Amino acid sequence: MITGASSGIGAATALACARAGMPVALGARRADKLVGVRDQIVAIGGRAEILETDVTREAQCAQLVQACVSAFGSVYAVYANAGYGDESPLHEMSDERVRAMFETNFFGSLNIIRPALARMLEKPPAPGERYRGHVLWCSSCLARVTLPRYSIYSATKAAQAMCASSMRHELKPLGVFVSSVHPIGTATEFSDQVTARAGGVRKTIQTPARLKQTPDFVAECTVNELRSPRGEVWTGFKGWLTRVGMGAAIMMPGVSDWALERIAARRSTK
C-alpha cells in the first residue's frame, strides 16, 4: 500500500512492485493520475486498487486500508510516501504553512501507518516468512543535515526518520519490520512544486542534473528493501556517498556551517 502514488517515487514504486508480482493499493489526492498509474499496472498484468486519498484525513486513510484488505485479503507493507517541500526562511513562514507541512509529511504518515499496522498485527506471519508486515517511511537525506530555507521540511523528515528508528525496535519482536527510505535529489515533480511555492525563484543549492537519481531507480531500491529488509535505505552508490557526506557534516559541524554560510551568501546574490 502506497500513498502519494500518483506521480514521482510513489508511482514508480507502484509499478516496480507490480512488476515484481505484488498487488498494490494506491492512494493520492489526484484521482485522475491514479487512474493512469492503475492502467499502466493492469497493462503489464498487475493488480491495483486505487482510492482518492488525502493523508491529512484520517478517515480517508482508514478507507484506503480497508480497500486494500477487501481487495487483497490483508496488508503486508505500507509505504508512507506522500509529502511536499517548501523553500522558505523559517522567520518568513506563517504558523499555517509550518503546520500544513507537518500535517502532510509527518502526521499524514502516521495516519496511514497506524491503521495499516493494526491489520498487520492481526495476522501471523505466512509460512516461510520472517515478518508479518513491513512499514516504510519515505524520509530524505535532509533528515540528517538541513540546508538554509529547508528547516521545516528537514524537521518533518527528521521526525519520520526518528520514529522509524524507534518503531523498528518496538515492533521487530512483534514480527513487523520498520524502515526509513532516504532519497537524494530525484528527478520528479517535487522540485518543480518547490520552485512554484518559492515564487519561481530558487535561492538554495540544488542537486545538479547529472547527480540526480530517477524515481525508477529509487523504486527498485525500495523493492529490494521489501525483499531483504534493512533499517535505513540510502539509494545506490550516490546515496551511500551522500550518507557519508552527511555523517562527516555531523562530525564536523563547524566545517558544515562554514560551507552552508558560503552557499547561502552566494545564492542570495543571484
Predicted local confidence at residue 127, as pLDDT: 77
| % of the chain at pLDDT higher than 90 | 67
Q: Cα 64 from chain centroid?
A: 17
Give residue 258's pLDDT band: very low, low, confident or very high (50, 70, 90). confident
DSSP state of 143: G
| % of the chain at pLDDT higher than 70 | 88
Residue 182 has phi, psi (to 5 degrees) of -120, 75
Whether the CB-CB separation of 12 and 219 falls below 8 Å is answered with yes
Quick: pLDDT tens for 60-113.
999 999 999 999 999 999 999 999 988 888 999 999 999 999 999 999 999 999
Whether the CB-CB separation of 159 and 104 falls below 8 Å is answered with no
Grid cell of 81 as nine digits: 510516501
Residue 194 pLDDT > 60, yes or no? no
Predicted local confidence at residue 187, as pLDDT: 64
User: Average pLDDT, stretch 211-234?
Assistant: 91
Quick: pLDDT tens for 124-179.
777 777 899 999 999 999 998 888 889 999 999 999 999 999 999 999 999 999 99
Residue 270 pLDDT > 70, yes or no? no
Whether the CB-CB separation of 70 and 119 falls below 8 Å is answered with no
User: Average pLDDT, stretch 32-60?
Assistant: 97
Predicted local confidence at residue 199, as pLDDT: 56
User: Taking Cα atoms as reference points, which of 69, 158, 80 lies closest to residue 120?
Assistant: 69
Predicted local confidence at residue 255, as pLDDT: 79
Residue 269 pLDDT > 50, yes or no? no
What does the domain layout of the chain look like in residue ranges?
2-268
State the amino acid at position 107 in one-letter form: F
Give residue 185's pLDDT band: very low, low, confident or very high (50, 70, 90). confident
Average pLDDT of every residue of the chain: 88
Topology classification of domain 2-268: Rossmann fold (3.40.50)
User: Average pLDDT, stretch 209-225?
Assistant: 87
Predicted local confidence at residue 210, as pLDDT: 65
Predicted local confidence at residue 205, as pLDDT: 56
Whether the CB-CB separation of 31 and 39 falls below 8 Å is answered with no
